[in-house]
Structure 1
Amino acid sequence: MPSPTSAIVAVGAHLPTGIRTTEQTERRLRDENPGRGLPVGLIRRMTGVDRVHEREPGEQASDLAAHAARRALADSPEPVDLLIFASASQDLIEPATAHIVADRLGLDVPVFDVKNACNSVLNAVQVAHAMIVSGQARRVLIASGETPTSAVRWRLADRHQFVRSFPGYTMSDAGAALVLEAATAGGCGIVDLAFSAASHHWRIGTLPTGGSMHPRDPEATYFDIDGRGLQRAFLALGPELITDLLARRGVALADVDLVLMHQVAEPHLAPIAERLGLGVERILPTVAEHGNLASATLPIQLRRALDDGLVSPGSLVLLVGLAGGISLGAALVRL
């Protein structure tokens, strides 16, 4: 009897129409910090990001997730029996944001949240796949709503604070959704997944608010990230997670039709891709046009690749996730 697996049968993306250009970001920083001598053009030169997406006032992470989920469910309207909200963002500490998304969608199914910074969606795929293969679910909706623009620091105490806040200026709000359902191995579906972590790096990038360390500190509501340290940490990772994943499935990198990879800054893309054993020419670039989309990056890239005809049913796609903490993940998927 063929082995069970799960397949991605629908992909939804929601990019807010509100746009903040990098020039507007720098202008606001200069206006709110007169006399600090903030350099003109630095963000664009250092990151390659032209613009970011901003949600409407009053929109929550659950709203962005629900927008994307409706699009995914319109493409695959059969009932789901589980909803996973997967995001670095959340509406509230409690209850799980998945409940709010389910309420917005009118769903009466079990729900829970999965959170692992920018790998939240990829880890949710891991969980959904395991639950489908084990028979605990048949069709799973994964919905993500990212609202990192809430944590951008505009008023700066000094240059050091500007440097630690820098990665936040290129982060975008976004929504994304996937529907996974039971399938038979050998056709379309999740071929394999692999994950690793180097958790001693957790201090490199934080958003401290709301936890037991900083329950009520207003200063903890902003990103505090060592951007160069984060890049060095990822460059210290070897290619083994990805090369081993491909090897155990007898797949050569040349057999992969497209690589989708989380992107923080354009100059970081090539060195990290090469360190992981991936040719940058195989990677779909999105960070210049859309900024850092956090955990929504991979499904939004997949939606774009499908819409642009870069992949189609039968294509073999490698999804590569990078996240603060730090963690690395990969999923080999036959569409």
Structure 2
Amino acid sequence: MSMVVKAARTVRPLPSDDAASAVELASRAARDCLAEAGLSPDSVGVLINVGVYRESNTFEPAIAALVQKEVGINLDYLASPMPVAGFSFDLMNGACGVLNAVQVAHALLETGSTERVLITAADAHPGGRAADDDAYPYADLGGALLLERAAEPGCGFGPVHLRSGDGPVGTRGYLNTAAMGTGGRGMITVERDTDRVETLLGLAADAVDEYAATERLDLDRTLLLCTRAAPDFADRLASRLGLDPGSVLAPAAEGADGEPHTAAPIVGYLRARHSSLPEGKDQLLLVTAGAGPSAACVSYRPQDR
């Protein structure tokens, strides 16, 4: 069984918003996905939320449950003409979270547990807006992917490959209880190791090489879409892999302050979908690398190719 993207969207805070909200960003992206697909919220059987940073450092209840409520996904399935239990949960693995969720979604669709899986990824500064904190590296950004079984053979996602390095190293986001005082709900400490980019670069390159060899993926016919561990990460990854720089992209969140974090793979997918693939390219490889350190890869062949 293969799995395809039915719809995908990203959103940023509205100008009228007093503060960024991960719940609202994820919910808006989810609603936009369903509108694009022409489907009702009750058509979603499982919602997986992978966002990390959220307003007021909320940890309970699961953000997925709050998003499910805002979107209206199977809130009272006993009252529905076709009763179906809606299920939602958080899955947190930083930059690799979306690809972890893709792996879980494939298993759920393959077993017939649901007809569609909705993945949401949203990060928001816990104290308001990312633009107001120069030390905070990520954009206030939400994204969503609506996944279903492929109707055409030979298209959609390949298997997800995961790779871990020696750690802990990379990026750590945490509450500094000794320094936060009474403002802890609106603060977060983000530390980045000085060698994290080189570490993540090596891990990502090894993951791509391993994926290409194991899955017999022709990198010359593939457009790589990677996360942005550094502004020049895509160029450095291309050099490490011996690829043309135009074959590796790390799209930024257009118009946003800071880098995309958990929603980065969705940003990359949309960039590829809305632009013509380079000459000779007929498939994508989503590559993520982040805290842990860890990396993940998954191939994707669009349905219209």
Structure 1 length normalisation: TM-score?
A: 0.73
Unpaired runs of 5+ in structure 1?
19-54, 156-164
Counterpart residue number, 1:66: 27
Percent of paired sites with the same residue: 26
Counterpart residue number, 2:203: 237
Structure 2 Cα separation of the partners of residues 134 and 278 of structure 1: 38
Contact 1:177 1:299 in 2 (8 A): yes
Per-residue deviation at 1:298?
Answer: 1.3
Closer, same or farther: CA 276–137 of 1 in aligned 2, 3 Å = farther
Structure 2 Cα separation of the partners of residues 296 and 243 of structure 1: 24
Greater percentage in helix: 1
Counterpart residue number, 1:304: 271
1:281 equivalent in alignment to 2:258: no
Counterpart residue number, 1:87: 51
Closer, same or farther: CA 111–183 of 1 in aligned 2, 3 Å = same
Per-residue deviation at 1:67?
Answer: 1.1
Contact 1:121 1:142 in 2 (8 A): yes
Counterpart residue number, 1:158: none
Closer, same or farther: CA 70–288 of 1 in aligned 2, 3 Å = closer
Unpaired runs of 5+ in structure 2?
75-85
Closer, same or farther: CA 288–144 of 1 in aligned 2, 3 Å = closer
Counterpart residue number, 2:120: 143
Contact 1:153 1:222 in 2 (8 A): no
Closer, same or farther: CA 328–77 of 1 in aligned 2, 3 Å = same
Write out per-residue CA displacement over residues 190-249 of structure 1, whole angstroms, 9 at most, x where no aligned residue: 1222111125134x421112xxxx667517843332353211321343733212322333
1:127 equivalent in alignment to 2:89: no
Secondary structure class of the residue paired with 1:325: coil
Structure 1 Cα separation of the partners of residues 215 and 261 of structure 2: 29
Closer, same or farther: CA 13–61 of 1 in aligned 2, 3 Å = same
Structure 2 Cα separation of the partners of residues 236 and 115 of structure 1: 23
Per-residue deviation at 1:136?
Answer: 2.3
Closer, same or farther: CA 128–217 of 1 in aligned 2, 3 Å = farther
Per-residue deviation at 1:328?
Answer: 0.4
Counterpart residue number, 1:321: 288
Closer, same or farther: CA 301–154 of 1 in aligned 2, 3 Å = closer
Counterpart residue number, 1:271: 236
Counterpart residue number, 2:63: 97
Structure 2 Cα separation of the partners of residues 288 and 227 of structure 1: 23
> 1:250 aligned to 188, 196, 216, which one?
216
Counterpart residue number, 2:174: 208
Closer, same or farther: CA 267–243 of 1 in aligned 2, 3 Å = closer
1:106 equivalent in alignment to 2:106: no
Structure 2 Cα separation of the partners of residues 102 and 205 of structure 1: 29
Structure 1 Cα separation of the partners of residues 198 and 249 of structure 2: 22
Structure 2 Cα separation of the partners of residues 106 and 69 of structure 1: 10
Structure 1 Cα separation of the partners of residues 107 and 178 of structure 2: 37
The alignment's C-alpha RMSD in Å is 2.9
1:117 equivalent in alignment to 2:117: no
Write out per-residue CA displacement over residues 254-309 of structure 1, whole angstroms, 9 at most, x where no aligned residue: 121x2211113323332234335554311234338544110111102212322234
Structure 1 Cα separation of the partners of residues 30 and 217 of structure 2: 32
Structure 2 Cα separation of the partners of residues 254 and 113 of structure 1: 36
Write out per-residue CA displacement over residues 163-212 of structure 1, whole angstroms, 9 at most, x where no aligned residue: xx85x3x421111000111236833211222111125134x421112xxx
In structure 2, what residue type is equivalent to 1:252?
D
Structure 2 length normalisation: TM-score?
A: 0.80
Q: How many residues align?
A: 277
